[in-house]
Copies of this chain bind each other. A is one copy, B any other.
Amino acid sequence: MTSTATGGSHRAAPVHIDPREVSLESALLALADPVRRTLVRELAASGPWERTCGTFDVPVTKATLSRHFAVLREAGLLEQKDAGPRRLNRLRREEFDARFPGLLALVLRDEG
């Protein structure tokens, strides 16, 4: 058999951190990068779990993109969920805004 009662051989689930435990420095560093701000904005423009990692319009390779997603996760900004071979994304709006009130709003409002 290929799976046990406890779950079998799936791939490692993405590592998440409670946004309440994220440092201000991590949050600022995560949002200081223009590519990551673009990801956050596109994420905010879509509904939860609507976008997979490959559907974002940023001028980097998938390796670099994967790195950026990891940084956003560690900053408490992103939640990811596996769906077959793809990975669905959700912006953690409420949680992040509770930890850093107004910060996300600045990014979403800003054009650059």
Contact = CB atoms under 8 A, between A and B. Distances in A.
A45 to B, nearest CB: 17
Interface stretch (A11-19, A23-31, A50-58, A62-70): A23-31
As for how many copies of this chain the complex holds, the number is 2
A112 B25 CA distance: 8
A3 to B, nearest CB: 42
Interface residues of A, number: 18
A28 B32 contact: yes
A98 interface: no
Contact of A25 (B25, B34, B105): B34
Contacts of A105: 101-102
Interface of A: 23-25, 28-29, 31-32, 34, 37, 100-103, 105-107, 110, 112
24 contacts: A23-B112, A24-B37, A24-B106, A24-B107, A24-B110, A24-B112, A25-B32, A25-B34, A25-B112, A28-B28, A28-B31, A28-B32, A29-B32, A32-B32, A100-B106, A101-B102, A101-B105, A101-B106, A102-B102, A102-B103, A102-B105, A102-B106, A103-B103, A103-B106
